Amino acid sequence: MVNHTIRAFDADLESLDRHISEMGGIAEKMLADAMDALASMNTELAQRVIATDPRLDLMQREIEEYCVRTIARRQPMAVDLREIVGVIRISADLERIGDLAKNIAKRAARIANEARLPRAIVGLKSMRDLAAVQLNDVLDAFAQRDPERARAVWERDVELDALEDSVFRDLLTFMMEDPRNITFCTHLLFVSKNLERVGDHTTNIAETVVYIVTGDPLPIDRPRGSDSPTL
């Protein structure tokens, strides 16, 4: 009976891992598609990203319910309980990343008919690339239960903050050069903030991975660059 319970609990944890992997894949695709929609002013692609968000929301609720049922059935202790609580936290961060991707897609659809300024999007592409690497690395760290890889993601967050500062300055310059750029660039400022927030959620996940594996939290204060402007 004890062996059966252990095997059943292992199956529960494996199922949760698969659900997190699926959520992570959806969040990664939403982010990539939202930025592709912005770069190409593709409103159809933007709408597909927006339409995907409810699926991610539903998955997060299902994971939370599964975790609650698992806790009730298995009454886990120590590392097993950390695993389940960690999954709840990670699913919430992935759901929020989906929300941020949706917000980017909404802005892409809104400015599709604006006068384009291609060079204004270059910095955002760099931010997207770094955020995507961070997200992929932290999902791998969770799958492998690798606290060192998770810590590396946490420490690299400063790079995304620095990129956001650079994008902020560039967009302000474009707006001062030509007032007709103001509306377009203002939307891009919000996109840069959304990408910076994606980075924050990847660091949240990194903190959770370290906690799951070691039981110890990372420092409260993350490595920071210069203070980013608030939008």
Domain contains 13: yes
pLDDT along the chain (231 residues), means of 10: 56 93 98 96 96 97 95 85 95 98 96 80 95 98 96 95 95 92 94 97 97 86 57 58
Whether residue 137 contacts residue 153, with contact meaning beta carbons closer than 8 Å, is answered with yes
Give the sign of the dihedral formed by CA 225, CA 229, CA 230, CA 231: negative
Domain contains 230: no
Domain contains 144: yes
Domain contains 228: no
Domain contains 185: yes
Full residue range of the structural domain in which residue 153 is found: 2-214
How many domains in the chain? 1
pTM over 0.85: yes
**Residue 19 dihedral angles phi and psi, to the nearest 5°:** -65, -40
What CATH code is carried by the domain that includes residue 51?
A: 1.20.58.220
